[in-house]
Structure 1
Amino acid sequence: MSTPTLVWDVQAELGEGPVWDADRACLWFVDIKGRRLHRYTASTNDKASWEAPEQIGFALPAEDGSLICGVRGGLYRFDVDMGDFSLFQPVETDRPQNRLNDGFVAPDGSLWFGSMDDSEEGKTGALYRWFRGELTRHDDGYGVTNGPCLSPDGRTLYHHDTLEKTVLAFDHQDGMLSNRRVFATTEDGYCDGPSMDADGVLHVCLFNGWGVARFAPDGQRLGTIRFPVQTVTKAAFGGADGRDLYCTTAWLGNADRRAAQPTLGGLYHLRVETPGLPQHRIAL
């Protein structure tokens, strides 16, 4: 495993949602509070950004080449060629205090994502699944949601109750969840975006925890990948062999520490031994 290296000093207030786009050989990620969608291409060091219509929690590739974005108020389609956003699925019109936060694409092409109270005060967040036009709420009562992601065999879904520093696990079968339980806790930081490698090791980013925690399938903590900044928000496996690990960071809540940590909010990269799982595309 290599040392985390800064590849884009993007200064994101709340960098989140990195995702590898194999067809374009690039990484997409967002700055939620900055309302920006970013694209990074390592082979050319090309960097591009677009302004989102509202706070944007994730941007995930769809089968038609577009990105499906979780923007406050609903799901938006981002046309990569035209560079524009269009709403196609309103979400939580009955919870105007909420925004969308993190998402994941399952092997069947379904989109899983969470919501949260933008003020981080009320437990009004929920866990949703969108599949071919049908939106289903699967769990409720979160302060801040993060995730989810699936085990390599698809039988366990992991999802965070971040304010409680708790990683939850559910039994998963055919898009249905059962047996909600505590998988792990993160006392050294708030559990942020999760990602999974091919061996079933869950990588949990630590907001204010200086790194990425690694958990075995039985919940045992295997160690931590240490970072030079304290707010690591989410990791994504990518590259030609799946062993490039890209991590977003944030300066949200730590503006007074930016002098000592000037690269807070930057995009980082490191090489790891075990590849991640393939990035799937949303079925439309």
Structure 2
Amino acid sequence: MGATPQSVLKLGATLGEGPIWVERDRALWFVDIKAPAIHRFDPQANSLQSWAAPAQVGWIVPAAEGDFVVGLQTGIHRFYPSTSAYTLLHAPEAHVPGNRLNDATVDPEGNVWLGSMDDAEEEVSGRIYRMYRGVAIPAGLPPVTITNGPAISADGRTLYHVDTLGRTIWRSRTDEDGSVADTVFFAQIEDGAGYPDGPVVDAEGCLWVGLFGGWGVRRYDPAGKLMASVAFPVANITKIAFGGEDLSTAYATTARKGLSEAQLQEQPLAGDLFAFDPGVRGLPAHQAIIS
């Protein structure tokens, strides 16, 4: 695996998102939001399994009790791959039918930090939530139109969250009681460089963020200084996840959404799953506690 991203799975996803390496079955799980499905990619066997989702699905994380937790437009569900069943845990935005859940991560204590967004990408109705034992509560951060992330530091005390349309990444402190404080500016994506999408923290404490419409991903140090950029042959990179041996391979989901027929002709790999050598290891994914 070299430093140049290569397509490792020809998928053509409409809106590939939410990659996460699940060590217990040594596979990469991710979703397609707009062609609603959950995917499991086994790089050792070079095989793909897929499950239809009953609504737009923004993310998937492993549950400590087994199986998975997923964010559907209809709420947070437990997902059972063996039976393809979904069981509702909590619907934090049942009163906002135009919203959907969009991205998530799990902290060392088993809390799921998740975000929502206006599906029409117009209203300022997206919020960040913290879910523990099946109930999600607002984190108290200002609403934006499209949230992405959050991403969490190794010690669980720093939360990175993205205002995608505002092209801004913010950093907050999280306390032991789950409260969020001291929110400060972290980084701005300049005009013409795309929109910040899903973020993830590596083993050195640096933040990687996919650039939707920006043809790449970026790596920032903990102070918000740009350290590196990785160019892709497709425009819409949504998020990366560290996986494989020693979490040393970066997998990236991409999207065909928003591309014209002419652009799709120029980007035949749009929507594929990519992989590259990031030169750094990732952090293991934590499991959500839901009961």
TM range (shorter): over 0.9
Q: Is the 8 A contact 1:9 1:267 kept in 2?
A: yes
TM-score if structure 2 supplies the norm length?
0.95
Q: Is the 8 A contact 2:100 2:116 kept in 1?
A: yes
| 1:238 paired to 2:243 | yes
| 1:123 paired to 2:129 | no
Cross-structure match for 2:95: 94
| 1:261 paired to 2:262 | no
Cross-structure match for 2:169: 167
**Identity percentage of aligned residues:** 42
Q: Is the 8 A contact 2:89 2:134 kept in 1?
A: no
**Using the alignment, how far apart are the partners of 1:77 and 1:168 within structure 2?**
29
What SS is found at the alignment partner of 1:259?
helix
Q: Is the 8 A contact 2:89 2:135 kept in 1?
A: no
**Using the alignment, how far apart are the partners of 1:273 and 1:2 within structure 2?**
8
Q: Deviations over 1:53-79 (max 9, x none)?
A: 100000110012211000002011110
Q: Is the 8 A contact 1:112 1:148 kept in 2?
A: yes
**Using the alignment, how far apart are the partners of 1:105 and 1:234 within structure 2?**
16
Cross-structure match for 2:149: 147
Q: Deviations over 1:129-184 (max 9, x none)?
A: 00013321012411101001112333211000000000011011222110112100
1:271 is displaced (CA, Å) by 1.8
Q: Is the 8 A contact 1:109 1:281 kept in 2?
A: yes
Cross-structure match for 1:108: 109
Match of 2:226 among 218, 221, 224: 221
**Using the alignment, how far apart are the partners of 1:281 and 1:18 within structure 2?**
14
- Structure 1: 5+ residue runs without aligned partners? none
Q: Is the 8 A contact 1:193 1:235 kept in 2?
A: yes
Q: For structure 1, which segment, 98-107 or 264-273, has the greater mean C-alpha deviation from structure 2 after superposition?
A: 264-273
Match of 2:207 among 195, 202, 216: 202
**Using the alignment, how far apart are the partners of 2:43 and 2:134 within structure 1?**
34
1:244 is displaced (CA, Å) by 1.0
What SS is found at the alignment partner of 1:47?
strand
Cross-structure match for 1:186: 189
Cross-structure match for 2:276: 270
Cross-structure match for 1:132: 133
Q: Is the 8 A contact 2:127 2:144 kept in 1?
A: yes
**Using the alignment, how far apart are the partners of 2:168 and 2:236 within structure 1?**
17
Q: Deviations over 1:19-68 (max 9, x none)?
A: 00101010110000001111100000111111101000001100122110
- Structure 2: 5+ residue runs without aligned partners? none
**Using the alignment, how far apart are the partners of 1:151 and 1:62 within structure 2?**
19
Match of 2:257 among 234, 238, 252: 252
| Partner amino acid, structure 1, of 2:281 | P
**Using the alignment, how far apart are the partners of 1:253 and 1:79 within structure 2?**
32
| Partner amino acid, structure 1, of 2:270 | L
**Using the alignment, how far apart are the partners of 1:155 and 1:108 within structure 2?**
11
Q: Is the 8 A contact 1:124 1:140 kept in 2?
A: no
Task: Name segments (4+ residues, structure 1) moved above 3 Å.
Answer: none
Q: Is the 8 A contact 1:160 1:167 kept in 2?
A: yes
Q: Deviations over 1:91-140 (max 9, x none)?
A: 20111110000000101000010000000000100000000133210124
Cross-structure match for 1:19: 20
Q: For structure 1, which segment, 116-125 or 90-99, has the greater mean C-alpha deviation from structure 2 after superposition?
A: 90-99
Query: Higher strand fraction: Structure 1 or Structure 2?
Result: 1
Q: 1:76 to 1:134 in 2, by over 3 A?
A: closer
Q: For structure 1, which segment, 51-60 or 268-277, has the greater mean C-alpha deviation from structure 2 after superposition?
A: 268-277
Cross-structure match for 2:44: 43
Q: For structure 1, which segment, 265-274 or 230-239, has the greater mean C-alpha deviation from structure 2 after superposition?
A: 265-274
**Using the alignment, how far apart are the partners of 1:115 and 1:216 within structure 2?**
26
| Partner amino acid, structure 2, of 1:104 | T
The within-5 A match list for 1:61-80 is 61-80=62-81
Cross-structure match for 2:11: 10
| Partner amino acid, structure 1, of 2:221 | A
